[in-house]
Amino acid sequence: METCSSSSSSCSRAAKPEIFFSWLLLMIFLLLSPMAMESSSAINEKLKTTTDSLSSFSPDFLFGTSSSAYQFEGGYLAKERGQDIWDVYTHKQGNIIDGSNGDVANDQYHRYEEDADILASLGVNSHKLSILWARILPKGKHGKINWSGINYYKKVINSLLRRGIQPFVTVNHYDLPQELQDKYQGWLSPKLREEYAYFAEVCFKYLGDGVKHWITFNEPNMWAVLTYRTGLWPPNHCTQPFNCTKGGPSELFIVGHNLILAHAAAVNIYKNKYQKTQGGQIGISVLYYWYEPLRNTSADKVAVERALSFLSNWFLDPIIYGRYPKEMKDILGSDLPKFSRSDLKMLEGAGVDFIGINHYTTYYVQDCLSSHSHCGRNVAGNFKIDGFVEQTPFKNGTLIGEMTGLNYLLVYPRGMEKVIMYVKGRYPNIPLYVTENGYCDITNSNSSMKEMLNDTKRVKFLKDYLGSVESAIRKGADVRGYFIWSMLDNFEWGFGYTKHMGLYHVDRVTLKRTPKLSAKWYKKFITKKVNVTTKRLYHSQ
């Protein structure tokens, strides 16, 4: 697997999907061994899980699934839909591993009723989805609203409500109209804050009566990293040790700054104009990895906090406290953008009603600040933009957890509890939702249908991670919901359709949805726990 480093001459676009998330600088891993098949009796035992382990989940706890617009909808040629940056990017040869795109995706644009039926049969009481910006405002705030797009999302939301399923609606999930990318250079421009605020208000105004939970951005921290740090996603800007033709070390934090203030603008609009009449809540979903110190040294323990701040607190500290983390200010100094008085005033009025945690994996970290000699050459740990922290999945040659079908995501269930308790401690008295957590199958194009459906490792993953959530709740964390990524196998960005993270298999020819073992397990796990009162309330709207 080719990696981007400062010593390489370039990183071709064809190589980029193969080094997805290479900012973590994982080395070449061992080949995955085939998934062990279990006997039918063992599988039946897995499905016998009852609500005995659910004692710490409240009666109105939300058990859900997740999706996103570009990855699921398709409807590329739908009436008046504008071009998204992913349309342009995926249509260029070599950018996606399997040469695919989201033109059709899972065709949820035409199958939303079918998918709502699937969710109802699964027994979930909530579902996280997103709105494609280019489907609503193809040309931004200075163009016309696409009413067919508004009506489509109204139908999607109502299809969930009729079945007693609460929609968690993300305003922006990794997408942007190509028109705005070309006009403003994307999120490098503060003008995009105004564009986003207008888009968010259109969503609140015309869709808000059916939405009780809004998420401004899905993983804006990772969105900034992948687009302006590693250059793996459009518009493909990067900085050392990654090589591309565009970018610079200041861009990552300019983009982050604009995203933070765009979030604040949207929250102010919602709270001042819509929250009282619509009765909803608004928050943000941030990606959190957990980190363990590589060595039992004070330097590595401090590096854990630095890693958390440079990845995640980078966004939440300004949103909640009106300032960047001390760890970032100490290292970046004047390279970190400043908040103006008007910015700070806007942040004061932008307190979130909840925090969404997206959590998938855990790494070891070691300090590279006190001694660069401990860290490898040309790795992120040697650069202040990454906080002088090196991340690794190995300790003494042993992985921190079992690899999944995405070899940068390793299974470490305790990390979930630790992340939740960390966020609880840093941002007390704010309700939490686990808005994404999931497992990538160890399957490929040669796997049989039986192997794809018999996802025993996902079942174990879900049991262990839900157990970790429950443990955090027992320790006092106010966790109110858990959403699996993902409902269906889907377009996994640079990997196309080669990676499978769904509870349901999707045939790429017929688009037929087939439940995996994990879907059956999840249904058993939650069926007796979903609050009937809540379901009836939403059904009546």
pLDDT tens per residue, range 71-113? 999 999 998 999 999 999 999 999 999 999 999 999 999 999 9
Look at residue 399 and tell me whether its pLDDT is greater than 80: yes
Q: Which residue has the higher pLDDT, 13 or 109?
A: 109
Model confidence at 45, in pLDDT bands (50, 70, 90)? low
Q: Which residue's entry shows tokens 């998204």?
A: 84
The C-alpha atoms of residue 122 and residue 525 are separated, in whole angstroms, by 10
From the list 185, 315, 174, the residue with the least C-alpha distance to 257 is 315
Tokens encoding 541 = 């709207």
Look at residue 370 and tell me whether its pLDDT is greater than 80: yes
DSSP category for residue 311 = I
- pLDDT for the residue 383: 84
Considering the domain boundaries, does residue 524 fall inside one? Answer: no
What pLDDT digit, counting tens, does each position of 129-153 carry? Answer: 999 999 999 999 999 999 999 999 9
Considering the domain boundaries, does residue 525 fall inside one? Answer: no
Look at residue 522 and tell me whether its pLDDT is greater than 70: yes
The C-alpha atoms of residue 305 and residue 321 are separated, in whole angstroms, by 17
- pLDDT for the residue 479: 99
- pLDDT for the residue 247: 87
Considering the domain boundaries, does residue 102 fall inside one? Answer: yes
Considering the domain boundaries, does residue 537 fall inside one? Answer: no
Model confidence at 527, in pLDDT bands (50, 70, 90)? confident
- Strand pairing class (290-293; 213-218): unpaired
Look at residue 234 and tell me whether its pLDDT is greater than 50: yes
Domain count of the chain?
1
Look at residue 353 and tell me whether its pLDDT is greater than 60: yes
Three-state secondary structure readout of 491-526 = CCHHHCCCCCCCCEEECCCCCCEEECHHHHHHHHHH
Considering the domain boundaries, does residue 519 fall inside one? Answer: no
Considering the domain boundaries, does residue 163 fall inside one? Answer: yes
- Percentage with pLDDT > 70 across the chain: 85
CATH number where 56 lies = 3.20.20.80
Q: Is 305 a catalytic residue?
A: no
Instruction: Give the DSSP per-residue string, 218-249.
Output: ESHHHHHHHHHTB--STT--B-TTS--SS--T
Rounded to 10 degrees, what is the CA torsion of 68, 69, 75, 78? 170
What pLDDT digit, counting tens, does each position of 154-163 carry? Answer: 999 999 999 9
Look at residue 293 and tell me whether its pLDDT is greater than 70: yes
Considering the domain boundaries, does residue 54 fall inside one? Answer: yes
Helix (H), strand (E) counts: the chain: 20, 17
Note the Cα 82 to chain centre separation in Å: 24
What pLDDT digit, counting tens, does each position of 242-280 carry? Answer: 888 888 889 999 999 999 999 999 999 999 999 999 999
- pLDDT for the residue 365: 97
- pLDDT for the residue 506: 98
Q: In the predicted model, what is the mean pLDDT of the chain?
A: 89
Choosing from 436, 451, 470, 492, the catalytic residue is 436
Determine the average pLDDT of the residues in 413-439.
99
Considering the domain boundaries, does residue 258 fall inside one? Answer: yes
Q: Point out which residues pair with 357 in neighbouring strands.
A: 286, 434
Determine the average pLDDT of the residues in 200-220.
99
The C-alpha atoms of residue 419 and residue 266 are separated, in whole angstroms, by 27
What residue numbers bound the domain in which 193 lies? 16-512
What pLDDT digit, counting tens, does each position of 177-193 carry? Answer: 999 999 999 999 999 99
